[in-house]
Structures are given as C-alpha cells and as structure tokens.
Structure 1
C-alpha cells in the first residue's frame, strides 16, 4: 500500500494489479516468460512511484492462479471488494473501497497497448467510454517525447473506424478485471494489443524469445500514463462509474447413493474434483477449454462434507440470457489416477437430482450424485453425414435397457448442437459404466437420431442376441478402438438381419437394400486393407461404410414402423367394419347381442390378421395391438357417454335459464342415422349389395397387387447459371459458416487419389456484425485489413490464383512464415516490387516475409463453382435479423432437405492478405470451404454422386460444361398406377350404376324423407353414407382376402414372384383409391336424390330486392292463432338474449313486444329492435320490425319483416342480412320442435308482458 501525498485525493484508492503465475500444456515445463511481462512492469511501476509519490493512494496487488480460471483475483475480490449483501457484511473488517481497479496483462510481442473495461456489456461500454477518452488524452500529451512515432494507446472500450474489441487480439482474452467489475468495482485493464500470444501456454515461452525492447517501451509508457492519471484531480470528473455487483455464490454438495443406508443419495464424497461446465462465459463469449492459456473449467476440491464452493458466476434474471451450467465431479484413485466415481445420469442421479442449473439468484445450493464407475474411452465420435461431432451418447446394458447408473463426458456439455464460429472440435469422449457390467453404446447428433452403434455384434441369420450385440465387458476394456470400423460393422450386421427378416415376410425397401449393398462392399474393402496393414485405406473405407450405413439405419426403423402403421390403419377401419358387418349379417335388436357380435367379428378378423400380417411377426408384443384397440374402443364409448350426458345437461340448463334452444341436429346422431338407414337399404337388396361388395373387394385386391410404394435415393441437381471454373466439387456451408476440421479428413479419404484437394481458411474478427479489422505493421506504418485467407500451394492448379501475382511467387509450403499482400497494402506500407522476398510485415505480433503482391481486381474476378470470390463474406453488410435468419438456416440445414443458397457480399480483395493455410488456422482461423479438382479421365458424375450419397448436405459440382448444386434425398414413389386406370373406371361405373338405380328405386322413400322434414343435404348424406359402408367393406375385406390368397399362393408356390407391399403407404394409398372411387361415383346420384326431394327448381330462399334503405318482405312461414303469441314471446326473448353482446353474429339493444287490436277480435303483434350485424367493423346497423297479422278468415298468421338501414354500405347491408335472416329462419324451425308445455309457458309470459286477460 502506498499512501497518496495529496490530502484531498489520498482517500481515493487505486488498485494496480497483475498476476505472477505461468501456464503450459506441459505443466512441468512452464517457463512463463511472456506471461510474466505484466508483473515485471508492475514492479517497475512500483519503483517509479516510490521515487515519484502519487497524489492518490495506490494498492499494488500481485495475484496468483490467473491461468487457473482467474482464481487468484477471485479470492481477493471475495475477501475485500464485495458490494452486495450478505457478502458485504461478511467481509466488513477487511473490505476495501477502491475508486478504480487497473489490471496489467502484458506480453512482449508488441509495444502497443489497448485500454479495455473487462466486459462485453453494452451498458458498461457507455459507463467507461469517458474514462477511456481521458486516458487517450493523457497519452496524446507525451507519447512522442518518449520515442513513440504513433499513438501507442488504443481505445478498446469504444473503438473507432469500425473496429471492435476482437480486432486487437487473435483470440479472446480473459482478464482479472472481469471478476472485479462483476463485484461492482470500476475496473479497466491495459493489455498488449495487436499480438497473438503465440508462446503463451507452451514450453517455448522462454526468456530468450522475449522482445525486451517492447517490454521496456510499454513500461515507460505506462509509468508516465498512470502518473498523469493518478495525479489528475479531474480524473473522475464527468464520469459516473456505477457498476452493479452481480457475483453469485454457488455451493455444490457431492454425494453418492448407498441404498443399504438411506433412501436418498446423501453420503458425502471428500476430495472429489468438482467443476462447473458452461455454454457461455458471458453473453458474448462462448465456452472454450482455454482462452489464451486461461483454463475455463472452475475446479474445486470437496471438503469432508462433500461441499465445493464457487464464486465466479454472475446473476442474470432474464432467463434467455442466463448461461446454462452443468455440475461435474469426479473422484480420482490416488494410487493410479483412474476415475472411480463419476456423475450419475441414471434414475438415482440426474433424473432425480439434475446436473443442469442456471444462476438466477445470488446464493444457490445444488447437489450432484456420483456412482462407482469404470471409465471407457471413445474415439471418432463423428456424424458421418453432416461431418460434425456427436453431442450425445446413449448407454445400454446387455438387455438393451438403460443401466441404473451411467454417465458420459464429451467436448461440450448438454445435448444441444454447439456449432460456434470455429472449426475446432474434439470428437472424443469418455463413458462411465458400473464395474463388472456389459455395455453397448449409441452415438447421437442432436435431433438427427442415432449415427453410431457400438454393439460388438456377431453375424447370424437366426440368433437375435448375437446380432443386437454381445456388448463390451467393462472389466476387459479401457477403450473402444477403430470406432468407424466397429460402428459400421455393428450397424451393418444389425440392419442386414432386420432387412432379411422384413424380406422373409414380404416387406421390401429398395433404398435400404441399395445402401446396404454399397456399405457391405466398403466394409469388405476396409477388412482387406487391415489385413494388408494399409491403415489409411482401412480408416478411409471404414468411414465410408459407416457414412452410408448410418444413412440406411433410419430406413430400417422406418420400414418396421411403416408396417406397424399399416396394421394400425387397418385396425382403425376394423371398428366400423365390424359394426357394419353386424348390421348387415345379423342386425340384432338388443344392444348386448349387438356388442357381442361386433366384438366377435373384430376378434375373428384380428385372429386372421394375426397369422397373415407380418406386422405381428416384426413386433415384440403383438397382443399389445389388440389390447390397445380394446382400450381405445372402450375409451371412445366412455368418452362419448360422458360427453353426450354433459351436453344433454348443459342444454337442459341452457333451456331452463335463457330459453335458448339447440339450432341444429347433432352431426354424430345424424351420421349414425344415415349409416343405419344405408345399411338397412343394403339388407333389403341383398344380391345388389353382394355383387357391388365383390366388385369393390376385387378392386382393392387389384390395387394392392398392381401398385407398390418404392423407396429410392434421388440425386437432386440444381443447374447454376455460371460455367464451371474447374471439373470437381466445392464443399461449403450454405450460409458460409465454418466447416469442422474433420470434414477435410473425410474429403481426403474420398478424393486423395482422384484429384487435387485444396481447403480454404479465413480469419475474420469474431463479431460478425461489425466490419472489424486486423492490423498489419511495417516499421511505423499501420494498415487495417478486413480479413486473412489461408490457402494451399496447390491452389494454383485449381483456380490459377498465381496468375493474379504482379510480383513475387506463390506459396511452396502450407506452414511457411510468408504472406502475399495486395497492391494497395504494398503501396501503403511502402513495399516495392523489388522488396518482395526481402521485407517483413507484422501481424498479431509475428513477422511474415512478404513473398508476393497480387492484383486485387484479378483476385476478385476469380470465381469458384458457387460463382462467388474466394475472399471472406462481409457479414457486416447484413442486418441483425438477416444474421439471425442465417444462423437459424445453419441449424435448419441439419433438419431440412430443401436446397437454399443465399447470395452473399464478399470483402474486397484489396483489404485482404493471403497466408499459407496452416498459418491462418494457427491464428484461430476457420475452415470455410474445400475444393477438389478431379484428374482428367475420371467419371466426374459418378464421383460426385458417390460422395453426396454419404452426405446429407450439398456440394457444388462442375461437370462438363455445367455447374450444379448436388444433394441426395430419400424419396418414395408409387409404381404401377397406370395399370389401374381400367379396373378403377370399371368399378366406378358399376358403383355409379348401382347408386343411380338405388336413387330411382327409392323415389317414394325420398319423398317420405322430405315430408317428415329432412333437408336435401341430409337426404344426399344417406346415399353418401351408404357408399361409405361399401367403401369400408370393400377396402377391409379386399385387403384381408387379398392377403390370405397371397399367403396361400406364396406358401404353395402357385404364383411365384407375387409380392404385396404391406407398408402403411401402400395400404393407405389403396384404401384412399377405393374410398375416392366409391364416393366420387356416388356424388352424382346423391345430388340427384337431393334434387328429387325438392320438386321446385329453386331450392334456396330468394329474397326480394330492397327499395332504398327499406327492405320489406313476407317470411316463408305461417303460424296458428293458438301459437302466435308464444312464438312472438319466444322471438322477443331470442333477440333480448343478444343484447349488449359484441361477439357472435349480431347484437341488439333489446327487443320490445306490442300488439294492436284489429277487426274480428284478433290481435296484430309487433316485435321491434335495433340490430348491429357482424363483422362489426363494417358498421352495418338497422331497425327491424317483425309483424304477425291474421291471414284473412283463417286461423293462421303471416309473418312480415321490415328492415330499415341505419348505417353501413348498402351492399354490405344486403349481403350480411342473408346470414342474419337464416338465423331467424332457424328459430322458426326450432319453435316447431319445442314441447307443448314450453309453448304454453311462452304464451303465458306474452300475456303477462302485454297484460292480456
């Protein structure tokens, strides 16, 4: 601690901090020279302030464990700096209240420094921006005097010229100030800028590799800068450094479950390594195992109570911003280092005590359950279709069930696809299983299903246990090797057994068979290579076999499901079939006999299907199908009874309270009546029914015999407008997101002997929404480029990119320290053509020899097979919504097969530098595309189709004089449909003739139906219902008889080669043809029947035209004198029920009923109201008057309506009244169905209202 000399300012404490630990991938060799620059400069600053005492007080802080998840500063913060209760009260005696925290994170690779506020939050950027400007202003005053020809201090808080924080560093950097600012203390960091930290975290980070001059320059600059800032009384003027304390406390208890001692897991594990895995470090920084040496996994050792404490997380109340976290813990055998306890994902672990959590409160407690385990390593966890890592592992025991306890550990936690802006992946994992157990493993890729099976299967034609895998003994293995080969072999054995089982029962899938033939050939090639010890060929063919078989595997499951779905479909038809058969053949009047007969028919058909349908052979529990349909039938009956009773009671209550009655016949009851009448008519005409049914049965059999649903692979080719720049393929993401590095390995496997393979890498700042930039330096000149491209030396033979060079020569190796710059960059950096091969430029603190200069215009003219240049895409040209859409499309390409190729704007080549491929990848570049130029004389089309068969993505292909976008997709198609035209026409005409004859024979019946009040549509539905009975009988009986005959013919060999496709698609398609044939053939007879029910030509009520705003007409109803008052009261109540209700078809302001005495001691009744008609936004309103007056000397009343338009357009008024008047007409129909007692009640109400005696 150094006290300030100014009485007014010394109360303001400034903390200056750096760390002193080192890191290396080889822990025992961690020199840490570059990592010690910060602490060295801190000590130099301390000496300087001893000689030049500051006005403000300073705490010089050196922390350890910076590279171990920032634990050193974390301990200091929680002991001295917390601002939030209850943490603040706990450190009351030791608490420090600094005005500002300044962190130093320096290296020797550059002499430039960037000031940063240690956060990616936009709010904090605004808070610290004024402070950054002040430091920049201090620097402006003196930097030239200390030897800097340029401003050495860069603004990382609010960068200018379109730069972002990521522009200053090759990789994201984590600083100690991050923890400080989360605790609510203002913090800034001074970090060496424009360097790559090439030696950090390596054994070569030695003193002899340091650039001492850069360290000295940074130290001199910071001493002057901090002196000016700390002594400035106005340092904090016009700044509001208010930061919220967001640090949270998480306490995790690690336990095991001992069922002999407790019913719940509660036995603490002492000495376990507990750590937290996160999907994000902060909202803008995704999880990575390390960031410039800083390890990201927070690791703690549990105490005697099994408790581990964590304090680096931040509280986030907005759930969509909360980082997802997973608790992990392992106990290590101290003798041999093996993991013997691991997190349990089984029934007693994660399923009851989840490992996943979010930090939504400042203090949180959690529990994780471990189990005794054996660790088994897995390799090659790749989805061979999408070339991405598998993200989930399923573990099964030898009975193919989930074990009681199991676990696994992959690169990323959770089950989501983590497709960040990176090409790096670790396709490896560890599974944890119970000792002395046998296990099987399946790998999954998001929602895409299983892509890898490790079963240890043994080939067999009959033994299902051998085929489904003998499993791996946990006691005998530590790893499962040759993953692609083992996965392909196990999947092929399983799929082959199942496919042969399908074919045994007449179920065929052509696509599955074709894919299997290819994968089996490739697996045999892999085995031959293994015998020859050709390990490259062994891996190559194993991967290819796995890729094709993983595409076939879903077809096996889909084929089995197809058969079961077809079975279920026909069982659904069996329910009405059994009912119709009972009505036709038995027609029991008593309900109990009817139920027995229906159930008996159902069971009989079930038993027949049980022996002839392969679905029962393919399922493990066929009786479950019968049980499910019995349960379904009983459930439907119970639900229908409950529903009908409930509706009946509700209608009764409705009638009793509001006197509003049902406006139409129930659809279910009408349909049931129509079917009953249809069946009754069929029973009366037995011969015709028999002959028509036989016709439809034969048609069904014909449809099933002559059609089939075939599965096949289709190669989709979309022609591109551009001619091909070379004969070959281009593999890239549709939205230009990075490919995984494993994709290059798979392409090399496929095409290494058939062409030239050239990958392309990009390095662009990770914040895609900004232009960003990378600094290129030569002497005192600085130039900001927008991206770096990494290319192979062989690129010249593919795109002839060397023709763009105006000086120098092309790369010779993929890892040389050279670069090729644009003409514009060369001019800016004063590099002449004769300087090429002699001068160096500096990028991210590393020097690269300028090997050439290219013409940017020519480079932009080079177009790849996608008709786009080689330069990086300018994502800053897209809006935020467009970038979000592209990100969604990137995920969607995994789930959908539609070929979508958006157009992209690329960055100009004049602001690009070319590097050897490996150098860009070392700079955290990403693999963006892979081009393959085929050798002359190869069959390009076959090569492309063989490759795309293994992929689920797309490739651009140059074949001949044309360019295509290729993709492959599994399709199904109907074959043999043309053979059915004549049989369908014959059956349709027979049904048409039958139904027309039925109509003309039943003219008297139709008249009777009309007389008893059936509407024309109901009469038409009688004939449609009858045809539906024919359709169901024909479809089910035809299918059943067809299958029986086919079974007999196949067993006896009477008709070799006859194969009926039992798939659901075939069954459904055949049934749909039958149903449509019958129904379409019945439409005309049904229409004729409906027309005959109404002899008048006009079947619809025709209204007269209104005269101006007045519409007067007679309603087509009459009512007797004895019911007229009750009807008037009924209608008045009806209109009053819609009073002040702004939903429905209309609303009123209330209705009034009055009467007028006329001659003959009779009354004339008036109902008046004002009506607003829906849709109400049209503003249609009217006055309505219903007049009921006597009809001469008869005891009947006529009904007249007078409508007067109040508002709304005349056309709308006339059009909307049609529906309104139909509603009134229905009320008259309902009045006829109301009981005599209720009519009397309405009459009495009317007399009371009108005060009639």
Structure 2
C-alpha cells in the first residue's frame, strides 16, 4: 500500500521515543494510482542519461531507502557501505554493475534521471540486496505489479484496487530484479521527484531492550491502515485492527421495499396491455422475444437509477430540513445514518428490488412478441437422393473466394475417417463460367463420409456461389448427392454436418484481415492453376 506523508509523520511523532523509524519506497509503476495505468511502455523517470558518454539506460524502478537503516541493519550494510554518506554536488545514486558498465560511468559523474541531476556514487551488491527480505518474507525491492497482474490473467495496463493486492498471498507477487533498478536516498526522491515518489514501507527498530514490541505493535495497528508485522522471541506475528460491521433495522424497510416492488410490478404489467401494438411493431421490425424483454429491463434500469439516486438526494434534502428545524427549536430531528456503506447499500437494494420486479413482466412481454420467423434454421427435406438448399449465410463476392480455401483446409483436416464427425477426400475447387448472372461462379466439391462411419453413409458434396438480389452479395448454394447409406440415416447425419459447416462460416467472420487475405490469394492461385492444367 502507499503511505501518505501525513501518516508517516504521525507514526514518527508517536513512536520516535522508542524506535528508530526508517522509510522505504521509490519510483515504480503502481496500478492503484490512476496515472500509472494505460499502454505507455516506458515512464520518463525510468531513463538515466550520462551526458559525458551520451548513453542511456532504462531502469525498471528506483528504490529509495533511508541511509540510517544501512547503519542500523548489518544486512543492509552489505549492499552498499556508507550508503548516501559523503559530500556530493547532487543527490547520490547507485547503479548495478551491468548498467554502470553500459553507461561507462565513473564515480562522481553527473547523471540525469528524468532531467534531474544526480551524482553517480558507485555500484551496489545486487546479490546481497536480492537476499534481503521483510518479516513476512517479502523482498525489500519494489514490487513488479505489471508482471503480477499478468500472472493473474489480467492485462498489465489494467487498473487495480488496493483490496485486490491485499487479498493476494505474498508468494503471488513478482519483484523487480536487482540488476535493473537503481538505489537513491528516499529524502532526495521526496525533494526532487515528489509527484512520482512513493512511500510503501516503514521499518521500526527498538532503541533499547525495554520496549514491549507486541504492545507497541498493537498500538500501531490501531492507527495504521494495514498489517503490522512484529518479531519477538515467539516468532513473527501479523497484527491489524478492524471493526465489526453490524446492521440493524432491516425489518423496518422490508414492507416499503415490498410495496415499491409491487408498484413497479403492477405498472409494468399494465403497460404490457397498453403497449401490445408497440410490442407487435417491434416484432414486425425483426426484434426477437429476448430483445423485447430486454427493452423492459432497460426501462426498469432507468427507473432503478432514478429511484435510487433520487431517493438519496431527497433524503439529503429532508435531513437538512429536519436539521434546520431542530436548530430553530421546532422539532427534534431523528437520528440518521449517512455513512457511505449505508447509502450505497440502500441504493443497491432499491435497484435490485426494481430489477427483480421486472422479471415476470419482461417474460410476459417476450412471450407476446412473435418474431414471425423460425428461431432455428431447419434443413429442408431431400428430393430422393438429392439434397439442395440455400445455406443461411450471405457473403460478399470478395469474401467467398477466401471462404472456399478456408473450408478446403477444414476438409483437409478431416481426411482421416477415424476422427471427427465426418471425413473428406478428393477436395477440389471449381469454377462455373457465366453461372452467376453472366459472371463466373466458384465453388468447392468433395466426397464426404459421415459419422457414424459403420453405417456406410457416403455422399458427394458441392457448395458454390449464386447471385443474390443485392449487388456485390452472394448467396451460398449447397448440393448433396447420396451415394451410400440408408436415406433416414443420411438425412439425420447431414443435420450435424450442416451445423459443422455453419460453425466454420461463423469462425470465418472472426478471422483477422491478414488471414482472410491469405485465404483469398490461396483460392485465386488454386483456380488459376486448375485453368492452366485444363
């Protein structure tokens, strides 16, 4: 979590007599901060420039520490000796060896971090820093929130809440490598880069052995919004202060809520009778029953928002009025709870009651709507051993060429008769000159075996484009000739085959443009090769 300066100052004032208090933080991307979300790959403060060699390196983060902790903690002193101590013309900064060599930096060089001058004070021991950990086994380097979000299946540029990270276990976090960060004094980052510097951790070291660590940790937990870890002779303990959430008065609002729900229910049921012609008009325009029902839900959603927010604003006005009358001595104002949790909960309850009251009216409205078309496409009956129908898809002339190669590839993937719902062989593309209003029609043909294969269902399949009433749009004609298998089994198996073909058409519409162009070119090459061969 991010610690505000007011909080850190308060803790220092309260506990400075018993503890040496040090802060940790730095400059790194935090998804809970609005400015740190988005698609920008590099933040300006992550770039270090050395004017002498005119070279730059990109840092993942800049870790900030108090120099006093390096003298107080022997493990920290192994990272950098005399951290931040010395006479520097600019704030000192320490780089890992790999970045120092890449820049060609020498101690005393002036480096620019986001345009701010720093003095290169030397390198630090990356291995020693990597081995350091907190009492709850977390690293002391800045966390890599972007990689942490990616591991959870979220986009690295997504925003996040503090509660999300608080609920995660320590093992779920990723940390920046010590080979890709720099070290600086936290006070320098506070002074020169306050807008991007973050205080994320505080370490308290007892000044003498008489300090009761557990008692002081409990006292700190009451003023600190987060976990407090304390190490004593009994081990490491985690403490945090919470308050129980209680609710009361639910029985007093049940009756008003039921009355409100019944009013909405009766109003919508009555409007269905009054709006029958409107519902029939929607059906005539092509709206399906679910769409008609969704209109009633949308109407109720407006009512719920207006009711929830309007009721909240009205309650504020009434409360102000009662408060004014109370000050005038006219009446004693009742006690009211205006906490954010109560207000939001009340609004959500009102919205939920309104939406629940809409379920039955919306279902009735959807049943009153008759779309006038079959809800599911049905394959026509065959004429003897021949089945011909217009496939329930219209495609552009340009797209159909690519679809043929796409379907041909799908058939090629089903050449084995032991797998899948069908098997295809002898798949070829063909052209019918002048068959489409004077233009050439193109198509695909194959020999298909349908599952279950032990029934011996075998057929010849042809699919080609045909002229449609809209210029530039083709309809798809499918012709199937039964060769083997009983007529009933053949027709029944073709239902699944037609559904499989339909899925491929739906999948085609989701392909990227580059893939579509690839299939178009493949069809043109196949048809051109066939003409040359003939």
Q: TM-score range by the shorter chain?
A: 0.3 to 0.5
TM-score of the superposed pair, with normalisation by structure 2: 0.44
Which has the higher relative contact order, 1 or 2, with Cα contacts under 8 A spaced 6 or more apart?
Answer: 2
Q: Which has the larger radius of gyration?
A: 1
